[in-house]
Chain A
Amino acid sequence: MAGKAKVAFVQLSSCWGCHQSLLDLHEKLLDVIPLLDIKYWVAAVDFKVGDLKKLPNGGLDAVFIEGLCRTEEDVHLLKLSREKAKALVAFGSCSCFGGVPSIANLFPKSELLERKYLKAETVIDRNTIPSENLPEITNFVPRNDQIVKADAYLPGCPPTSQEIANVVLALLSGKPIEHSIKSVCDECERKKEEKNVKKFQRDFEGKPDPEKCLVNQGYLCMGAGTRAGCGAQCPNANHPCKGCNGPPEGVTDQAAKLIGAFGGIADMEPQKLLEVFRDPAGQLYKFTYASSPLSKLRSVNKGEK
């Protein structure tokens, strides 16, 4: 690519964590930043949406979208970014699969607003749901690529700095972005044994052995149903995988895949297993509910036609 690459980092509803991860590149930033001509990056510099609008259509080489569409403003920004971008990168698990906030799709919007504004213990004025001068809330959280086309995906909550650097450098050199087709277990260095788990425990219970596989010890580690690429940093740091990298190649429904894994290795009565999974949707869809087929239940056309 001749000259500097024009890029933008756009934020929809999100926690800004992916941008923190980008800044965590530290010294490597010095390799990356000189190659970029940043046109829009509200996390770091005081840009306004007007700055993005002023650019010609297709004028940006890459736009990194962080976050998900929960408000009208997000949808607008996403569509605007698509117009300006030659390549649109879904940046982080929220952008790729809906992320943690998409678990809200388990409930209708009215129920969510009621819980938040009319029933919340910390709210004093429990009579009104604010709506004036605010962008409208979407009925449900879609995946960003259901609204506009995404050219590349960079999952993770947040993606590791190394992954971000790889993708940015690949985009700059025009190379295809390669995702691992393996699962987190392949990258995990723990000692795996035949699994026949008689008792599961929560993350905070007991003290995990740093050498043995966490599932062998009865921890709910989601590595078996999660795409590799993160270097298995959580299990290698003695903490069960949460599944933030999304489902492996060819799988759309991460929870069903994990149910297959845990149902096969748990040596206990089904009722006891249900006690372990008190909230299967929350535990197993933690980052990917918007990409599950079940999430379509919130779509408007339900029951009509």
Chain B
Amino acid sequence: MNGGKEKTEGFEPYVLGLVCNWCTYAGADMAGTSRIQYPPNLRLIRVMCTSRLDPTFVIRGLELGADGVLVSGCHPGDCHYVNGNYKTERRIHLLKKLIQQAGLEPERIRLEWISASEGSKLAEVMKDYVEVLKKIGPNPLRNTKGKTHVDDEDLFGKEVK
């Protein structure tokens, strides 16, 4: 998943984008057709509405080694399904606090509102997000990907802080 880019030097963050069909996905399309340049670190997954996102998807993305998860949907009041983005906003705020308690940087989850006409905003957001993620470094959960067994070294070896 990390494409061998896991060294801190020249570290290229892997950003998982979970975006809504009606606004941000169309916005990303717009950025593409308008040939706007932005960092290629983003991998998009389209959902019909950001409120379709189960917060477990975000945690799963982090578990599998994504350095950041960008959740993006319609502006407040613009949701195709009336109020889906309000639900997402509440969930993401809680999730950020949750991962902060667990010891991950809350910046690893980012919520944005990008409409279908805002291709340039997507580019700006991605430029900024990649900078932020480069500063905080790779996601430590990358190294435990697929790890299901705990051995004595994990339990009694040198402790990680």
A-side interface residues toward B, CB under 8 Å?
A: 69, 72, 75, 106, 108-110, 136, 138-140, 142-143, 146-147, 251-253, 255-257, 259-260, 262-264, 266, 268, 270-271, 273-274, 277, 279-281, 284, 292-305
Are A280 and B154 interface neighbours, CB within 8 A? no
Once the chains bind, are A303 and B140 in contact (CB under 8 Å)? yes
Chain B 139-153, CB within 8 Å of chain A: the 1/0 string? 011011001111011
A260 to B95, CA, bound (A): 9
Pairwise interchain contact A263-B87, C-beta atoms closer than 8 A: yes
CB contacts (< 8 Å) of B97 on chain A: these are 274, 277, 280
Indicate if the CB atoms of A75 and B160 lie closer than 8 Å: no
- Most chain B CB neighbours (cut-off 10 Å) among A147, A251, A295: A147
**Cross-interface CB contact of A281 among B59, B62, B101, cutoff 8 Å:** B101
The number of chain B residues touching the other chain, given as a range, is 35 or more
Residues of A within 8 A of B104 (CB): 294, 297
Q: Chain B residues with Cβ under 8 A from A262's Cβ?
A: 90, 94
Evaluate contact between A257 and B55: CB separation under 8 angstroms: yes
> Would A257 and B56 count as touching, CB distance under 8 A?
yes
Contact A301 B155 (CB under 8 A): no
B158 at the A/B interface (Cβ < 8 Å)?
yes
Docked complex Cα distance between A138 and B95 (Å) = 28
Known A72-B156, A142-B155; judge A293-B62 contact (CB<8 A): yes
Tell me, in angstroms, the Cα distance from A305 to B159 when the chains sit together.
Answer: 15
A124 to B147, CA, bound (A): 42
With beta carbons under 8 angstroms apart, the residue of A108, A257, A260 that contacts B160 is A108
Please state if B98 and A259 are interface contacts (CB–CB under 8 Å): yes
B67 to chain A, nearest CB (A): 14
Residues of A within 8 A of B149 (CB): 146-147
**B99-129 contacts to A (CB < 8 Å):** 99, 101-104
Is B156 in contact with A259, judged by CB distance below 8 angstroms?
A: no
Other A-B contacts than A296-B147, A304-B143, 19 sampled, CB-CB below 8 A, are A75-B155, A110-B161, A139-B156, A147-B150, A257-B55, A259-B98, A263-B87, A264-B91, A270-B89, A292-B59, A294-B99, A294-B103, A297-B140, A300-B157, A301-B154, A301-B160, A302-B140, A303-B140, A305-B143
Determine the distance from Cα of A72 to Cα of B97 in the docked complex, in whole angstroms: 33
Q: How far is the CB of B19 from chain A (nearest CB, A)?
A: 18
Dominant SS at the B interface?
helix
In contact, A106 and B102 (Cβ under 8 angstroms): yes
A273/B90 in contact, CB under 8 A: yes
Residue with the highest number of chain B CB atoms closer than 10 Å, among A140, A266, A300: A300
CB-contact partner of A264 in B87, B92, B144, under 8 A: B87
- Per the bound structure, the CA–CA distance linking A179 and B93 in Å amounts to 33
Q: Mark B53-94, 1 if CB is under 8 A from A, else 0.
A: 011101110110000000000000000000000011111111
A142 to B148 CA separation, bound complex (whole angstroms): 10
Q: Does B24 contact A (CB under 8 A)?
A: no
Among residues of B, the one whose C-beta sits closest to the C-beta of A254 is B56
Question: Which residue of chain A is the closest to B145 with respect to CB atoms?
Answer: A296
CA distance A264 to B51 in the complex (A): 8
Given A260-B91, A270-B89, A281-B98, A108 contacting B156 (CB threshold 8 A): no
Check if A255 sits within 8 Å of B98, measured CB to CB: yes
Minimal Cβ-Cβ distance residue in B for A278: B97
Bound-state CA distance A305–B143 (Å) is 7
Chain B residue numbers with a CB within 8 Å of A294 are 59, 62-63, 98-99, 102-104, 141
Q: Look across to chain B and name the residue whose beta carbon is closest to the beta carbon of A74.
A: B155
Q: Which residues of B contact A263 (CB under 8 A)?
A: 55, 87-88, 90-91, 94
- Measured CA separation A257–B59 after assembly (Å): 10
A280–B87 alpha-carbon span in the complex (Å): 17
Q: Is B99's CB under 8 angstroms from A260's CB? A: no
Contact check, B155 vs A251: say whether CB atoms are below 8 A apart. Answer: no
Residue of B nearest to A303 (CB): B140
Task: Please report which residues of chain B, range 40-57, place their CB below 8 angstroms from some CB of chain A when the two chains form the complex.
Answer: 51, 54-56
User: Which B residues touch A296, using CB under 8 A?
Assistant: 63, 141, 144, 147
